[in-house]
Structure 1
């Protein structure tokens, strides 16, 4: 049985350059996901046309640039991540090939075999962010788990996180002492007796 060997990471998209190729529904969905998670993300969208929803979505984001033209290899210059989100499978494969040659990480929408990374379902409660991956097997299951976790995690968790950060900053001792004290204090969060 195949296992999920993905390594979960959280990118600081305000410090990276992201290229999205495609201005239709899928491109809009990907740009929306990026901006929901990081409103200061630096994104360039290249497409021969843009859906009105994408234009209105990006209007209030100064770090998002829409360039109306066909994709070319030069679009990859200086980019850290690429998302190919066109309706043209051949073009997406070409973008993948050029990204790989340029050593730029790429996600080809709806084509798990051409992805260096996936965009998972995200649960966010303040500073807590949980990414859910099914290894590309079932985005629907990831969406359902997102709904369950959103309902299960209380909105008050943000207050708990803020207080724990203050406490952590005030703790004395070496790293191991701090970890031990914080583990004792937070054990109530996973206790089945509360």
Structure 2
């Protein structure tokens, strides 16, 4: 059976420089996803034109820069992540080539073979964030699982997280002892009736 061997990580996009190439529907979707997850993300969007929705998506986000021009190799300089989100397959491939040559991680929208990373479907309840990946096989399944998790995770979980954080800070003992005590306290969350 095939396995998903992706390594899940959470990136601090407010500490990285992100380039999105493309100002159409896909570019809007990617920029919106980035800002929904990290409003302080530092994003540069390069495109020869921008869909009218893009202005609304980036309004109120001073760390987002829209640059209306064709993509050039220099756009990658100083960037940590690149997302190619154009409707032009040849241009997306060119962006992939330039990103790989610059050793910058890249995601080419709707082209899993040219992706170093995928943007996941995300469930968020306060400080709890769960990323869902189908290894590029079915974003629709990820979307449905997101709906299920959103409905089943209680809204009050943020309060529990805050209390556990305060308890963790007051616990005495070595790391193993702290983990044991926290596991004991949180066992109620996974007990079956």
Structure 1: how far apart are the matches of 2:61 and 2:108? 24
Structure 2 stretches of 5 or more lacking a match? none
- How many matched pairs? 193
Q: Residue 94 of structure 1: SS of its match in structure 2?
A: helix
Task: Give the alignment's TM-score, normalised by structure 1.
Answer: 0.99
Q: Residue 13 of structure 2: SS of its match in structure 1?
A: coil
Residue pairs, 1:16-165, within 5 angstroms: 16-165=16-165
- What whole-Å deviation, never above 9, does each CA across 1:109-138 have from its counterpart, x for those lacking one? 000000000001000000000000000000
Q: CA deviation at 1:23?
A: 0.2
Structure 2: how far apart are the matches of 1:110 and 1:11? 21
Structure 2: how far apart are the matches of 1:144 and 1:58? 27
Structure 1: how far apart are the matches of 2:59 and 2:77? 24
**Any runs of at least 4 consecutive aligned residues in structure 1 with deviations exceeding 2 A, and if so which?**
none
Task: Give the alignment's TM-score, normalised by structure 2.
Answer: 0.99
Q: CA deviation at 1:2?
A: 2.0
Q: Considering only aligned residues, what root-mean-square deviation do their CA atoms show, in Å?
A: 0.5
Structure 1: how far apart are the matches of 2:4 and 2:65? 35
Structure 1 stretches of 5 or more lacking a match? none
- What whole-Å deviation, never above 9, does each CA across 1:83-142 have from its counterpart, x for those lacking one? 000000000000000000000000000000000000010000000000000000000000
Q: CA deviation at 1:55?
A: 1.2
- What whole-Å deviation, never above 9, does each CA across 1:129-177 have from its counterpart, x for those lacking one? 0000000000000000000000000010000000000000010111111
Structure 2: how far apart are the matches of 1:69 and 1:55? 16
